[in-house]
Amino acid sequence: MKIGFIGVGAMAKAIIKGLIASKNVSAADINIHSAHQANYEPFAKENGVVSFDSNQELVAQSEVVVLAVAPEQAESVLQEVRPQLKDKKLVSIVGGMSINRLEELSDYNLPILRALPNINVEILAGMTALAANAQLKETDKKQLGELFQSLGEISWQPEEAFGIFSALAGSSPAYVDFFIDSLSRVGVKYGLSKNAATKIAAQAVQGSAQMVLKSSQTPFELIDQVSSPGGSTVAGLLAMEEAGFMTAVVKGIDATIQKNNQVD
């Protein structure tokens, strides 16, 4: 299956690297083109993917076309390649552009999958929301779903849930990185090197996340396991909550959803 990427930004690069690492797609079967040759040509050579000189040529040589451009560029790009999209399957990772709008700009008979991955797809630990139009056959839906599942986990969602999904899965890696960095800075405060403190904090967060996924207990029940009566963990939790830890998290997600709704 030849997969063509229109746009080679950070998310497209993460998906491409993940697909190659998963060994489900050969680098030679990945086609790319973007507006900036200085960006995509070195990436193509470094990763062994095939670059094309135009979007039309790329679409003509691809079975699945991944639209990975900025929202303000999507309309002109789809109009540009509309004749070549016939008999293709379109996958859009364009934020805030609904399937209905994609159909308006391309073709109501075009099979379309809307995907919302997070950046962790690059290391096969991603989380991707998926939604499809009625024109995408069940066999193709299954095949494309498995493709994204090779990059981590997938969640089929109605489009109206994409906003909250984006906040919880798309933006949250930045928030978790912020938390890890905050922990590591405290380690530096008490004498650890930044590298050592960051590794300690990141490994602890990774292990805790795996524990949540594998355990039948809720996160709060897991918290209780680490919190001895009158102990230092309880003291730390109470201090964090007094400083507004949970409120800060909720307000951060609220702000993210509000901004996503403005885009949609």
Question: pLDDT at position 263, please?
Answer: 55
| Total structural domains within the chain | 2
Collapsing DSSP to helix, strand or coil, 197 comes out as helix
pLDDT tens-place string over residues 122-139? 999 999 999 999 999 999
What is the mean predicted confidence (pLDDT) over 31-39?
A: 91
In this structure, are 176 and 245 located in the same domain? yes
pLDDT tens-place string over residues 59-108? 999 999 999 999 999 999 999 999 999 999 999 999 889 999 999 999 88
Task: Look at residue 37 and tell me whether its pLDDT is greater than 90.
Answer: no
What is the mean predicted confidence (pLDDT) over 113-126?
A: 96
Which residue has tokens 């630990």? 125
In this structure, are 64 and 143 located in the same domain? yes
Question: pLDDT at position 261, please?
Answer: 75
In this structure, are 145 and 179 located in the same domain? no
Q: Whole-angstrom Cα distance, residue 46 to residue 44?
A: 6
Domain boundary among 163, 194, 214: 163
In this structure, are 96 and 195 located in the same domain? no
Question: pLDDT at position 42, please?
Answer: 95
In this structure, are 156 and 191 located in the same domain? no
Task: Look at residue 8 and tell me whether its pLDDT is greater than 70.
Answer: yes
- What residue numbers bound the domain in which 197 lies? 170-263
Residues 6 or more apart whose CB falls under 8 angstroms from that of 111 comprise 89, 90, 132, 133, 135, 136, 137, 140
Question: pLDDT at position 73, please?
Answer: 94
In this structure, are 72 and 140 located in the same domain? yes
In this structure, are 88 and 40 located in the same domain? yes
In this structure, are 241 and 134 located in the same domain? no
What is the mean predicted confidence (pLDDT) over 238-261?
A: 93
pLDDT tens-place string over residues 38-73? 889 999 999 999 999 999 999 999 999 999 999 999
Q: What are phi and psi of 124, to 5 degrees?
A: 60, 30
